[in-house]
């Protein structure tokens, strides 16, 4: 399962798979996928306050 790093602005909120992150943040699993959407990142970058957006980034695991 993919691991994600969840950030709010520059603050790291959690690292883990979608289920772990959802439980840690108290949100649905679908919300984590929404945080990871490329469209959401684009909108956050164009926002006047990008530090207020919660975003997820998939982590690449080297095996």
DSSP 28: -
Mean pLDDT, consecutive 10-residue segments, the chain of 63 residues? 92 95 96 95 92 93 58
Give me the pLDDT at residue 60, please. 80
pTM: 0.86
pLDDT of residue 62: 56
DSSP for the chain? Answer: --EEEEEETTEEEEEE-HHHHHHHHT--HHHHHHHT-HHHHHHHHHSS-GGG-EEEEEEPPP-
pLDDT reported for residue 15: 96
DSSP state of 60: P
């Amino acid at each position: 399962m993919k691991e994600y790093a969840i950030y709010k602005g520059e603050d790291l909120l959690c690292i883990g798979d979608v289920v772990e992150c959802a439980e840690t943040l108290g949100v649905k699993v679908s919300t984590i996928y929404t945080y990871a959407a490329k469209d959401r990142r684009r909108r956050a970058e164009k926002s006047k306050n990008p530090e207020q957006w919660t975003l997820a980034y998939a982590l690449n695991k080297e095996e």
